[in-house]
Structure formats: C-alpha cells, structure tokens
Amino acid sequence: MAVYRSFLVLAFAGCVLSEFGAPFEPCDKDDIKCLSAATESFLEKTCHGLPDYDIKAIDPLIIPELKYEVDPDMGLYFEFKNLNVTGLKNQQISDFRMDTDKKSVVLKTKATFNIVGDVKISLTKHNKVFNGVYSAAYTALGNSKYGYSLVQKGDLEYFEVGPETNSCEILGEPDIKLDSNLQNVIDQDADARALKPSFETKKVTLRKNTLCRVVETAYITVIHNIRASAKIYPCRAFFNKMCK
C-alpha cells in the first residue's frame, strides 16, 4: 500500500485522494450519480494511461487495425488502419446494474466520438480496392456485461473482473466523411456506382454497424482499464457496504 500511495501521490498530485489513494470516492452500488462522478474523476486522471499500472490511454485511443465485412451480399469490406478515436474521456455512465447474487455487472456509457483513420474499401466481388481517409462524428452508447468475483488478499477483498461482452447503440445520425479524392474515385467507378442503389437502401444500418464495431473495439480497452484498476484498489475503494 505504501508503494501505491507514494506513486499515486505523484501521479495525482494536487488532487484529493480518497482512502487507498484511489482517484475516486467509493459509492453505493445503486447511486448512479456517485458512480458517474467517480468514473468522471477516474477518466480525467487516467485518460493518458498509467503504464506502471497497466492502465492504457483511452483518449485518444488508437485502434491499429480493424477489419469489418460491412455487407457480404454486396461484397463490401472495410479495413481501417491507425484509427484515432477521441471522446472516451468524456463518457458518462447512463446505466450501471450490479447483481451481487449473480455477481454480474451491466455497464452502459454514452460518449460522443470523433474518429479518423486510413481506410481500405474493397468491393470483393469485383476485386477492387479504394484507399483513403475515413472520418466520423457520432454519439453512441457502449454496453458491457461481465461477471466478477471477490478474492481476499490480506485483510481486504479485491474484484476480479471476468471476460466481458460488449455491444453498442448509435444515437442519432452519424456524420461520416471520406476524403474528397476517395469520394471522387468511388463516384466515378462503374462497379461502385452499380452498387449504389443497394447501398442507399441499407446505408443507415450499415453505417451504424460499422461505427458500432469501432465502439465495441474501443470498449475492450475501457474494460481492460476497469480490470486493471480492480487489481490496484480493493473493493472498498469502489463500493460502500459490500466488502471486507
């Protein structure tokens, strides 16, 4: 504990630290307002990562590679590289349910994302590839479900966060742009144009699916950080009236 404390005092110098040196106050598990404030405080102080504690940077969060089959029928396949995702440090808890009997958690947070990265768009049925830059601005809910257990270490109990399942919902209309060169090439390509009517009918769904894939991928790191902080701070640093 002494080691943690001296490190954290340096890392969060100037901040008021709660017991155990955590950059957030413990909450009652049903107190969404308290949980939101704690999450906000945690994100603000850790969004650039704490490598010594295996807490990764989440704002910006770089997704090195993401492949997604947008529509098998149309033969539309996207491959993103170095996707720069910003917005996660301002995510807000929109729902948190902890079932202490089943030892499971459902967490939903809302964030406004700005993403930009290289994209390779393939028309797999025509063996065609278009390269360029893809960017999008949108609001989404990231949802995660995971199980946990409480494990005693010394006098205190710690959470062990199990594997998570992530899902997502896009709120409102996303704003998507291809760079003008890529857009021109696609507009002028005969095969791409032939797919356009079919794309237009499914556009809203296809775009939402693609952007949700980005959120779900980003969420892997968000949950990773929760798992890592559960190793640093005991259960009592997170919740009142629940643990030793």
Ligand X SMILES: *[C@@H]1O[C@H](CO)[C@@H](O)[C@H](O)[C@H]1NC(C)=O
Measured distance CA(156)–CA(163) in Å, rounded: 23
Q: Is 48 in the site for ligand X (CB under 6 A)?
A: no
- Choose between 58 and 237: whose C-beta lies nearer to ligand X: 58
- 218-227: buried (b, 16+ CB within 10 Å) or exposed (e) per residue? bbebbbbbbb
Q: Residue 71 phi/psi, 5° resolution?
A: -155, 110
Give the x-and-dash track for 56-75 against ligand X (CB under 6 A): ----x-x-------------
Shortest CB 70 distance to ligand X, Å? 24
Q: Read off the tokens for 197.
A: 């009517």
Give the x-and-dash track for 78-117 against ligand X (CB under 6 A): ------x-x-------------------------------
For helices 180-188 and 190-232, what crossing angle results, to 10°? 140
Number of residues counted as binding ligand X (CB under 6 A)? 4
Shortest CB 61 distance to ligand X, Å? 9
- Choose between 60 and 147: whose C-beta lies nearer to ligand X: 60
- Choose between 57 and 156: whose C-beta lies nearer to ligand X: 57
- Choose between 177 and 203: whose C-beta lies nearer to ligand X: 177
What does the binding site for ligand X look like in residue numbers (CB under 6 A)?
Answer: 60, 62, 84, 86
